[in-house]
Structure 1
Amino acid sequence: MTYDTVIETLRPLLAAEVRAELPGAAEPRDLEQAVWVRLLEHLAALGPPKDPAAWITATVRAEASRQRDPALRETPYAADPADGAAGSDPEHRTLDRERDRALHAAIRRLPGRCPRLIGALLSPKDLTYREIAGELGISQGSLGPERSRCLGCLRRILASEVAPVARRGKGRGTTADR
């Protein structure tokens, strides 16, 4: 039996099983795609399943269960160093202040109305897009593209100031690297 034959014989069964699991599953096409991926992995590793109908049923149920509640699989980080939660010592506080100073200095160097836009986005008032657009005197629809352009400029400014942390790739190194 070829792979194409296996896939064509399982297609109607898969569609029926997905419809049966549909009320609890997120998206039927996502569920089908996940099962097809599992089938291709199975075919590559072990060949066709001995009992295709039972395999499809079990796999659809397992994938539907996995898609139903992704929060069960997600575990938060204990502390994110970028939040400053990890460091209450003077060194971390100093590094946090230095990072904030460098960010705000880069924001001030942005062109046009970008400094005001990024400043409004970073505002502790947590302004909505409507409020930011009103404050800047631009339409709410143009706020997204303007924000993207300004963030791109900010990325370029910050990237030019930050030294690369480590070399990547297979470049020439010292004899200690070899």
Structure 2
Amino acid sequence: MWLRLLERLEAGGPPSDPPDWLRRAVRTEARRARRTARRETAPAGDPADTGGHDPERLALAAARRRALRDAVRRLPGRCPRLLEALLSPRDPTYREIAGELGISQGSLGPERSRCLGCLRRLLTQEVAARGGRG
């Protein structure tokens, strides 16, 4: 961040609101790092090498993801939309999510917490119903 600030000072002078500039710069850099991490993949090795991921393990992981998506869809109220927005690959800000859902930005954290609690209870019940398997 300090390097970015020095570049900014050389290019156009000091920012008009340094604390605000720093917050925006850190947020932008964090988003850039997340996008880069998502795009990076391990170099391809031997095509026959599954990297320790046997087909059964891959199938089980896919089934867990499918079960999680199904559970999120069954959540009450705006929970499915909220969790979908929070996990969106476009990485929206709390302000953008609040605007999409028509709620205040300050209520997103408590709402998210309630939704995750509902999801936890739902999944716990499902695991218990299956006898603890999976």
TM-score interval, normalised by the smaller of the two chains: 0.5 to 0.7
Structure 2 matches for 1:134-173, cutoff 5 A? 134-163=99-128, 165=132
Q: Distance in 2 between matches of 1:119 and 1:92?
A: 26
Q: Distance in 2 between matches of 1:114 and 1:138?
A: 12
Matched, 1:124 2:93: no
Gaps in structure 1 of 5+ consecutive residues: 1-85, 167-178
For the residue of structure 2 that corresponds to 1:162, the secondary structure is helix
Q: What does residue 13 of structure 1 align with?
A: none
TM-score, structure 2 as length reference: 0.54
- Alpha-carbon RMSD: 2.0
Residue identity (%): 73
Q: Distance in 2 between matches of 1:137 and 1:153?
A: 21
Q: 1:108 aligns with which of 64, 70, 73?
A: 73
The structure whose Rg is larger is: 1
Q: Distance in 1 between matches of 2:116 and 2:108?
A: 12
Gaps in structure 2 of 5+ consecutive residues: 1-50
Deviations 1:103-158 (A, max 9, x none): 01101111111110011122222222222112212111010111111111111100
Count residues in correspondence: 81
Shift of 1:165: 4.5
Q: What does residue 72 of structure 1 align with?
A: none
Shift of 1:87: 5.0
Structure 2 matches for 1:10-159, cutoff 5 A? 87-159=52-124
CA separation of 1:143/1:156 partners in 2, compared to 1, >3 Å: closer, same or farther?
Answer: same
